[in-house]
Each structure stands twice: as structure tokens, then as C-alpha cells.
Amino acid sequence: MVIELKEYESAIEIAKAMDNDISKTKSILGEYLRRLDSIRNLAERSKKIREVVFKLAGKKINPKQPRRDNHRRPKRNPRR
């Protein structure tokens, strides 16, 4: 655990530091939201492509069927 102790000369300095921290946090949040939107758009396009492929193949899409994921995590072996 890291503890950081800061000293400020005045309340104005505290306010400036807090504003700076808030600005950095908003910027990071904005980047995360842009990434999320990009991933969401990619997922929607992928879903549409999948639907077209299934339609062309003459198969029905069952949305409640669990998806087979080739990237499953391997089962963990307990340490002995």
C-alpha cells in the first residue's frame, strides 16, 4: 500500500491541485468511453456479419444457446 502525503501553502494551491486531478481523471474517463464505444461498434458489426453468414449457410441463430469460446481459461491446478 502506498501513502502519499502532500503539503500545500494555501487553499488556492489545494484547489488548483484538485482541479488538475479532476481534469486528468476526466481525460482518462473520456478515453475509456471512446474505447468502449469503439468496441461496442465492433461487436455490433461482428454480430451483423455473423447473422449474414448464418443466413447464407441456412442455419438459424439461437441467441440463448451458450457461445462456444475457444479462449476459455484453463482450469487452475491447486498448488500442492
pLDDT, tens digit, for every residue of 41-80?
999 999 999 999 988 888 777 766 555 555 566 666 666 5
- 23 found inside a domain: yes
Task: For residues 32 and 18, give the distance between their C-alpha atoms in angstroms, rounded to a whole number.
Answer: 21
- 54 found inside a domain: yes
Task: For residues 18 and 79, give the distance between their C-alpha atoms in angstroms, rounded to a whole number.
Answer: 46
Q: What is the pLDDT of residue 59?
A: 78
Task: For residues 22 and 33, give the distance between their C-alpha atoms in angstroms, rounded to a whole number.
Answer: 16
- 19 found inside a domain: yes
CB 54 within 8 A of CB 60: yes
- 73 found inside a domain: no
Confidence (pTM): 0.57
Structural domain tally of the chain? 1
Task: For residues 21 and 5, give the distance between their C-alpha atoms in angstroms, rounded to a whole number.
Answer: 15
pLDDT, tens digit, for every residue of 12-31?
999 999 999 999 999 999 99
- 22 found inside a domain: yes
- 36 found inside a domain: yes
The parent domain of residue 47 ranges over 9-58
- 34 found inside a domain: yes
- 21 found inside a domain: yes
